[in-house]
């Protein structure tokens, strides 16, 4: 299945976040190795940085979803739910037509018989 531009952008952002988390961890690990921070302080620092990045990612995702929804609303594109409701209505109408046709067929046949007999 082909990915849309929004999905590609979102997945790219997640990929960047993953790479960035790795870089944060490496940066903190290097600081610990060089003795600039203790192992305990480094772990706390890495957790705070990664948590902050995750919070920012969630906020960005929320903003993107809101912007996408607003764009869809402005273009008046029907939602999946609206399309499914229309499909249900169409199917219901088709069933009604089928029932009406079945009821009309015997009546039409009954009307046609007297005309055929009259021609004899």
77-103 confidence digits (pLDDT tens)? 888 999 999 999 999 999 999 999 888
Residues 65, 8, single domain; the answer is yes
Residues 38, 2, single domain; the answer is yes
The residue segments making up the domain with residue 21 are 1-77
Residues 50, 63, single domain; the answer is yes
How far is Cα 25 from Cα 12, in angstroms, rounded to an integer? 20
Give yes or no for a contact between 28 and 42, defined as CB atoms under 8 angstroms apart: yes
Cβ neighbours, 10 Å, residue 60? 13
Residues 63, 13, single domain; the answer is yes
Task: Report pTM.
Answer: 0.47
Residues 83, 70, single domain; the answer is no
* Rg of the chain over all Cα atoms, to the nearest angstrom: 33
How far is Cα 45 from Cα 33, in angstroms, rounded to an integer? 14
Residues 82, 71, single domain; the answer is no
Longest CA–CA span in the chain (Å) reads 114
Q: What integer pLDDT is reported at residue 86 of this predicted model?
A: 97
Residue 26 has pLDDT above 60, yes or no: yes
| Count of domains for the chain | 2
Residues 33, 57, single domain; the answer is yes
Long-range contacts of 88-94 (CB under 8 A, 24+ apart): none
Residues 1, 40, single domain; the answer is yes
User: What are phi and psi for residue 83, nearest 5 degrees?
Assistant: -65, -40
Q: What integer pLDDT is reported at residue 11 of this predicted model?
A: 56
Residues 7, 54, single domain; the answer is yes
- What angle is formed at CA 38 by the lines to CA 56 and CA 17, rounded to 5 degrees? 20
Residues 70, 96, single domain; the answer is no
Q: What integer pLDDT is reported at residue 81 of this predicted model?
A: 95
Residues 57, 89, single domain; the answer is no
């Amino acid at each position: 299945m082909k990915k849309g531009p929004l999905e590609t952008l979102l997945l790219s952002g997640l990929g960047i976040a993953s790479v960035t988390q790795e870089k944060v961890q490496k940066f903190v690990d290097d600081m610990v190795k060089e003795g600039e921070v203790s192992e305990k302080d480094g772990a706390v620092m890495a957790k705070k940085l990664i948590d902050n990045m995750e919070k920012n990612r969630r906020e960005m995702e929320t903003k993107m979803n809101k912007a996408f929804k607003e764009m869809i609303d402005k273009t008046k594109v029907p939602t999946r739910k609206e399309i499914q409701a229309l499909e249900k209505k169409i199917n219901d109408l088709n069933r009604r037509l089928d029932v009406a046709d079945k009821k009309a067929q015997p009546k039409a046949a009954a009307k046609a018989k007297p005309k055929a007999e009259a021609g004899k």
